[in-house]
Amino acid sequence: MQQKTLLDDRKIDITIKRLCRQLIENHDDFTNSVLIGIQPRGIFLANRIQRELEQILGDKKILKGNLDITFYRDDFRRKDSPLNASSNSIDFLMEGKKVVLVDDVLWTGRTIRAALDALLAYGRPEKVELLVLIDRRFSRHLPIEADYIGHQVDSLDSQHVKVSWAEQDGEDKVLLLSDKK
CB-based burial, 58-79: b 16+ in 10 Å, e otherwise: eeeebbbbbbbbeebbeeeeee
pLDDT of residue 74: 65
Residues lower than pLDDT 50 in the chain: none
Structural domains in the chain plus CATH codes: 8-75+85-155 (3.40.50.2020)
pLDDT of residue 71: 79
pLDDT of residue 10: 98
**Alpha helices (H) in the chain, listed in sequence order:** 9-27, 42-57, 110-119, 166-169
Q: What is the pLDDT of residues 150-181, one digit of tens each?
A: 999 998 888 999 999 999 999 999 999 998 65
pLDDT of residue 127: 97
The pTM of the full predicted model, rounded to 2 decimals, is 0.92
pLDDT of residue 104: 98
